[in-house]
Chain A
């Protein structure tokens, strides 16, 4: 059974991150990102609360595990949307097309997008690396403690 305070800490962490993205706003796509991150943080909090309060049922576990995977997926977005990360911010150019219109025509485009994300992460500065490190530390500790 997970501890509710662990989920609260994680949820608050995400909220603060989303708020920082909104506060240090550089463009409207970042605003959408910030809102998306806040929403995702709320989803995680809700998932954690439901799992901790409900009887141990497969659906609740599945919901929580899906939340953890969602959190992992957020990591890449959060690293790239960090307010100070504006060095060849290719991701923004993709989302400048409006989120609702963003799509991948084929698998090749999706792979190309992933390639770009991984390349940017590998060449990112120490701020992004530290953020990624802390996120992964929290994730690994959560896996172990829960």
Chain B
């Protein structure tokens, strides 16, 4: 707890050691993602408090692992050195492996091996890039690339290879199409706690570094890596929406909904503009609170997945949960006056202004598909008679739901609340 307090205190201006200044950026973007990570850590702790752990796993051990992961992610969010990133990410991966191992050893090994292999691909790219530029610091990489361009001309094919390898490594870890298949193992396990820790806690930390790398360091050679993000973003959103409808009965709601959200976030990065990044960061808040709220709802109904069909039938048994469910789902669809609406509005407007009409079409298509998916669910939830299902009476779960519901509602009604935070964070990247 003391360590966590120190780390959070460092976000607000405690003097950082001199040797960190060069390779860690204590700027608005770090502050933004630190708040995201801390919020997710708080929600994860609330969720874990009411969770039925396997024998031999205590809540204390769970807290230790989650706090360790989040403290490393706080550093990861600000790092701007490729080697530091690899070290920190490997440590995060090992800690998450230890957490997974407590629940399912096979899934844990599955995750660890895949993460290490993707890190190996990333390391190959980093090695090539180091060979070209002689630097691992993101700012120095950019400077050296610019200087080399004017002194030696356009670099050969090894630079696109290195950027592609690094981008593929990052895209694999983020779970973008076509590298999202490995996330299906989380769904198979039916464990909302682990999936939410990965998707809503660990992944934002990775996203912070990915944004810095792509937009701060190698934006000048965007044609060498942007196509990977374009493909990943567009197809992730469309494929997620399509799969939701085609395989409705499979109850793999969170896998495909999550794919759509990460696809939209990738669109923001792929745009490569200040407005696009700001739109994406705003969208991230809506995604974060929306998903955490739904995780709390489904945990309250003792579900291991986003089983909308079965929950919709019994949601009216608790009015607070019913209202929260309607709001959070509306936010996910992007209905007006919700956080999700403003997030998508800002994002699509920025993409359109930046000339990325294809990504806007993909996003709108996904939004339509999600709306079509939820229409029958809304019908069921409104027409169902109140029943008495077995709901978890945990106060911590309800508290978590209340916080995420209120946050989502406030951002939806007063989007300017976080606008300054978002704009300052986007301004940390020198476009």
Once the chains bind, are A140 and B246 in contact (CB under 8 Å)?
no
Q: What are 7 contact pairs spanning A and B, CB under 8 A?
A: A111-B246, A122-B184, A129-B182, A133-B114, A133-B179, A140-B228, A145-B160
Q: In the docked arrangement, what's the CA distance between A38 and B182, Å?
A: 28
Instruction: Please give the number of chain A residues whose Cβ is less than 8 angstroms from any Cβ of chain B in the complex.
Output: 21
Once the chains bind, are B168 and A123 in contact (CB under 8 Å)?
no
Q: In the docked arrangement, what's the CA distance between A56 and B393, Å?
A: 70
- Choose among A123, A126, A136 the residue that contacts B184 (Cβ–Cβ < 8 A): A123
Per-residue B-contact encoding for A117-136, CB less than 8 Å = 1, 0 else: 01101111110011011001
**Hey, which chain B residues are within 8 Å of A125, CB to CB?**
110
Once the chains bind, are A136 and B161 in contact (CB under 8 Å)?
no
Once the chains bind, are A115 and B247 in contact (CB under 8 Å)?
yes
Binding site for A on B (CB under 8 A): 109-110, 113-114, 117-118, 121, 157, 160-161, 164-165, 168, 172, 178-179, 181-185, 187-188, 224, 227-228, 243, 246-247, 250, 252, 255
Q: In the docked arrangement, what's the CA distance between A124 and B184, Å?
A: 8
**Hey, which chain B residues are within 8 Å of A130, CB to CB?**
113-114, 117
Given contacts A123-B188, A145-B160, A145-B161, contact A133 B246 (CB under 8 A): no
**Hey, which chain A residues are within 8 Å of B255, CB to CB?**
122
Once the chains bind, are B110 and A141 in contact (CB under 8 Å)?
no
Does A4 sit within 8 A of B, measured CB to CB? no
> Which chain A residue has the least Cβ–Cβ distance from B188?
A123
Once the chains bind, are B181 and A141 in contact (CB under 8 Å)?
no
Measured CB to CB, the closest approach of chain A to B258, in angstroms, equals: 13
Measured CB to CB, the closest approach of chain B to A85, in angstroms, equals: 14
Once the chains bind, are B172 and A133 in contact (CB under 8 Å)?
yes
- 4 smallest CB-CB distances across A and B, nearest first, come from A122-B184, A126-B113, A129-B182, A126-B110
- Given contact pairs A122-B185, A129-B110, A133-B117, enumerate 10 new A-B contacts (beta carbons under 8 Å): A119-B184, A123-B187, A126-B117, A126-B182, A130-B117, A136-B168, A136-B179, A140-B168, A144-B160, A145-B161
Does A20 sit within 8 A of B, measured CB to CB? no
Once the chains bind, are B164 and A124 in contact (CB under 8 Å)?
no
**Hey, which chain A residues are within 8 Å of B252, CB to CB?**
122
Q: In the docked arrangement, what's the CA distance between A133 and B184, Å?
A: 15
**Hey, which chain B residues are within 8 Å of A23, CB to CB?**
none
Binding site for B on A (CB under 8 A): 111, 115, 118-119, 121-126, 129-130, 132-133, 136-137, 140-141, 143-145
Once the chains bind, are B168 and A122 in contact (CB under 8 Å)?
no
Once the chains bind, are B224 and A124 in contact (CB under 8 Å)?
no
Most buried by B among A118, A119, A129, A141: A129
Q: In the docked arrangement, what's the CA distance between A122 and B179, Å?
A: 10
> Which chain B residue has the least Cβ–Cβ distance from A139?
B178
**Hey, which chain A residues are within 8 Å of B117, CB to CB?**
126, 130, 133
Once the chains bind, are A119 and B250 in contact (CB under 8 Å)?
yes
Q: In the docked arrangement, what's the CA distance between A126 and B160, Å?
A: 28
Measured CB to CB, the closest approach of chain A to B178, in angstroms, equals: 6
Once the chains bind, are A126 and B164 in contact (CB under 8 Å)?
no
**Hey, which chain A residues are within 8 Å of B109, CB to CB?**
126
Once the chains bind, are A144 and B227 in contact (CB under 8 Å)?
yes
**Hey, which chain B residues are within 8 Å of A121, CB to CB?**
181, 184
Once the chains bind, are B164 and A144 in contact (CB under 8 Å)?
yes
- Choose among A111, A132, A133 the residue that contacts B118 (Cβ–Cβ < 8 A): A133
Q: In the docked arrangement, what's the CA distance between A144 and B243, Å?
A: 28
Once the chains bind, are A145 and B172 in contact (CB under 8 Å)?
no
**Hey, which chain B residues are within 8 Å of A141, CB to CB?**
161, 164-165
Once the chains bind, are B114 and A126 in contact (CB under 8 Å)?
yes
**Hey, which chain B residues are within 8 Å of A126, CB to CB?**
109-110, 113-114, 117, 182
Q: In the docked arrangement, what's the CA distance between A130 and B168, Å?
A: 13
Once the chains bind, are B160 and A136 in contact (CB under 8 Å)?
no
Measured CB to CB, the closest approach of chain B to A80, in angstroms, equals: 13
**Hey, which chain B residues are within 8 Å of A122, CB to CB?**
181, 183-185, 187-188, 252, 255
Once the chains bind, are B164 and A140 in contact (CB under 8 Å)?
yes
Q: In the docked arrangement, what's the CA distance between A66 and B110, Å?
A: 34
Measured CB to CB, the closest approach of chain B to A123, in angstroms, equals: 5
Measured CB to CB, the closest approach of chain B to A5, in angstroms, equals: 13
Most buried by B among A111, A115, A122, A136: A122
**Hey, which chain A residues are within 8 Å of B165, CB to CB?**
137, 141
Once the chains bind, are A137 and B184 in contact (CB under 8 Å)?
no
Once the chains bind, are A137 and B161 in contact (CB under 8 Å)?
no
**Hey, which chain A residues are within 8 Å of B227, CB to CB?**
143-144
Measured CB to CB, the closest approach of chain A to B244, in angstroms, equals: 13
Measured CB to CB, the closest approach of chain A to B231, in angstroms, equals: 8
Measured CB to CB, the closest approach of chain B to A3, in angstroms, equals: 10
**Hey, which chain A residues are within 8 Å of B187, CB to CB?**
122-123
Q: In the docked arrangement, what's the CA distance between A140 and B228, Å?
A: 8
Q: In the docked arrangement, what's the CA distance between A144 and B184, Å?
A: 28
Once the chains bind, are B168 and A137 in contact (CB under 8 Å)?
yes
Most buried by B among A124, A130, A140, A145: A140
Once the chains bind, are A123 and B113 in contact (CB under 8 Å)?
no
